[in-house]
């Protein structure tokens, strides 16, 4: 009998502190009007200085565990998609494990930038289908505010902090992840296209790397924009093909929340009406690996996505990486 990975619980957490476009006007040479028109972002959340990504992930995970009505000891595996881990090692997933008391789980981080959550879902789906694992917690979480160059208006206005979590459990019913697709293209791995140059083995931390602000995100926005608009519709269509479905079957599209213009272009290219496209980039900005799962959690809690609905999720990120999935809730 075919085995499926059902999503039995979701959760999300964003910090209380709100940074508006108007507040940013006082920090860099930008304007609320420019940010709204070019990105659709109105405000974003900023984590307290003493908070790390696992602190956000733990809060999101607790909600997902509650919705799934499971015991943390039931969790076999924890996957955290993040590029802003608490430390390079140990993994953020191990801190989450400790925080929620999931003592029986194997825990590890996954680096796929904004595609981190959907990469995690894909792995979890395969693990559950293989029969080796039954209950997997997948988190996408980031604290981007700590890797932003707050003097670079081209990047600092775009990102925010947050985390989302999903519990996946094996089932024989045809629900949950119906299809899943991930891909990457290392030809676009130029760290200055989208990435953080220093802090790794190529460029370890030094006084020079700090002076040159190389521990902050670098991005050539216009190029990334074009790649996103091309790659996301292709990836979404691929997941639909794998599931044997068409866009007309889809109840809700959840694209990566990087920029309103990219979101609209992806929906339009796929031919999905705007009312079926979930948007929360206005409230949170780009939370990287967390965007799609925060959106899914909100969609479920706001009943924009109901049991039985078909949800198409698609993302892209640094690497380049991309991923898409069709889920029956």
Q: Which residues are catalytic?
A: 114, 256, 286
Which residues, 6 or more positions from 281, have their beta carbon under 8 angstroms from its beta carbon? 39, 40, 41, 257, 258, 259, 260, 263, 291
Q: How far apart are CA 315 and CA 262, in angstroms?
A: 11
Give the chain's length: 329
**Applying CB under 6 A, does 116 fall inside the site for ligand ACO?**
no
Q: Which of 40, 228, 233, 323 binds ligand ACO (CB under 6 A)?
A: 228
Task: Give, as ranges, the residues between 245 and 304 that touch ligand ACO (CB under 6 A).
Answer: 258-259, 262, 286, 288
Integer angstrom CA distances of residue 82 from 38, 93, 114, 123? 26, 10, 8, 15
Query: Among the candidate windows 87-95, 100-108, 153-161, 242-250, which touches ligand ACO by CB under 6 A?
Result: 153-161
DSSP three-state, residue 214 = coil
**Applying CB under 6 A, does 189 fall inside the site for ligand ACO?**
no
Minimum CB distance to ligand ACO smaller for 94 or for 318: 318
Of 124, 68, 133, 75, give the one whose Cα is nearest residue 104.
75
Q: Which of 18, 25, 30, 108 binds ligand ACO (CB under 6 A)?
A: 30
**Applying CB under 6 A, does 194 fall inside the site for ligand ACO?**
yes
**Applying CB under 6 A, does 41 fall inside the site for ligand ACO?**
no
**Applying CB under 6 A, does 318 fall inside the site for ligand ACO?**
yes
**Applying CB under 6 A, does 162 fall inside the site for ligand ACO?**
no
Rounded to a whole number of angstroms, the minimum distance from the CB of residue 93 to ligand ACO is 19
**Applying CB under 6 A, does 317 fall inside the site for ligand ACO?**
yes
Q: Which of 50, 222, 248, 308 binds ligand ACO (CB under 6 A)?
A: 222
Of 117, 165, 163, 171, give the one whose Cα is nearest residue 10.
165
Count of alpha carbons within 13 angstroms of residue 154, beta-carbon side: 13
Rounded to a whole number of angstroms, the minimum distance from the CB of residue 71 to ligand ACO is 34
**Applying CB under 6 A, does 188 fall inside the site for ligand ACO?**
no
Q: Which of 113, 250, 296, 314 binds ligand ACO (CB under 6 A)?
A: 113
Tokens of 312: 């198409």
Q: How far apart are CA 129 and CA 4, in angstroms?
A: 6
CB < 8 Å & 24+ apart, contacts of 16-20: 16/45, 17/45, 17/46, 17/47, 17/48, 18/43, 18/44, 18/45, 18/46, 19/43, 19/44, 19/45, 19/46, 19/160
Minimum CB distance to ligand ACO smaller for 258 or for 327: 258
**Applying CB under 6 A, does 10 fall inside the site for ligand ACO?**
no
Region of residue 90 (phi > 0: left; psi between -120 and 50: alpha; otherwise: beta)? beta
Rounded to a whole number of angstroms, the minimum distance from the CB of residue 42 to ligand ACO is 14
**Applying CB under 6 A, does 126 fall inside the site for ligand ACO?**
no
**Applying CB under 6 A, does 38 fall inside the site for ligand ACO?**
yes
Query: Among the candidate windows 28-36, 84-92, 97-105, 266-274, which touches ligand ACO by CB under 6 A?
Result: 28-36
* CA 99 from centre of chain: 21
Q: How far apart are CA 219 and CA 193, in angstroms?
A: 5
Interacting residues toward ligand ACO by CB under 6 A: 30, 34-35, 38-39, 113-114, 153-154, 157, 194, 221-222, 224-225, 228, 258-259, 262, 286, 288, 317-318
């Amino acid at each position: 009998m075919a085995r499926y990975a059902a999503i039995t619980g979701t959760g999300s957490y964003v910090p209380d502190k709100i940074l508006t476009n108007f507040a940013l006007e006082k920090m860099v040479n930008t304007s609320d009007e420019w940010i709204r028109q070019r990105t659709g972002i109105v405000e974003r959340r900023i984590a307290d200085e003493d908070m790390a990504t696992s602190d956000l992930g733990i809060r999101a995970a607790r909600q997902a565990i509650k919705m799934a009505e499971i015991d943390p000891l039931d969790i076999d595996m924890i996957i955290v998609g993040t590029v802003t881990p608490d430390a390079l090692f140990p993994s953020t997933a191990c801190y989450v494990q400790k925080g929620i008391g999931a003592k029986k789980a194997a825990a590890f981080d996954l680096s796929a930038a904004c595609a981190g959550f959907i990469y995690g879902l894909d792995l979890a789906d395969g693990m559950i289908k293989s029969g080796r694992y039954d209950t997997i917690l997948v988190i996408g979480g980031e604290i981007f505010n700590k890797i932003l160059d707050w003097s670079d208006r081209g990047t600092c206005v775009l990102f925010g902090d947050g985390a989302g979590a999903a519990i996946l459990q094996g089932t024989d019913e045809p629900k949950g992840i119906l299809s899943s697709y991930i891909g990457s293209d290392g030809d676009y791995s130029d760290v200055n296209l989208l990435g953080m140059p220093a802090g790794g083995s190529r460029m370890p931390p030094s006084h020079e790397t700090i002076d040159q602000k190389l521990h902050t995100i670098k991005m050539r926005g216009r190029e990334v924009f074009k790649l996103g608009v091309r790659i996301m519709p292709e990836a979404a269509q691929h997941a639909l093909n794998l599931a044997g479905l068409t866009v007309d079957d889809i109840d809700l599209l959840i694209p990566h929340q990087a920029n309103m213009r990219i979101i609209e272009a992806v929906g339009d290219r796929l031919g999905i009406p705007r009312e079926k496209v979930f948007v929360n980039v206005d409230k949170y900005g780009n939370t990287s690996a967390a965007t799609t799962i925060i959106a899914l959690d909100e969609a479920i809690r706001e009943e924009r996505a109901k049991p039985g609905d078909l949800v198409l999720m698609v993302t892209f990120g640094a690497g380049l990486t991309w991923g898409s999935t069709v889920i029956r809730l």
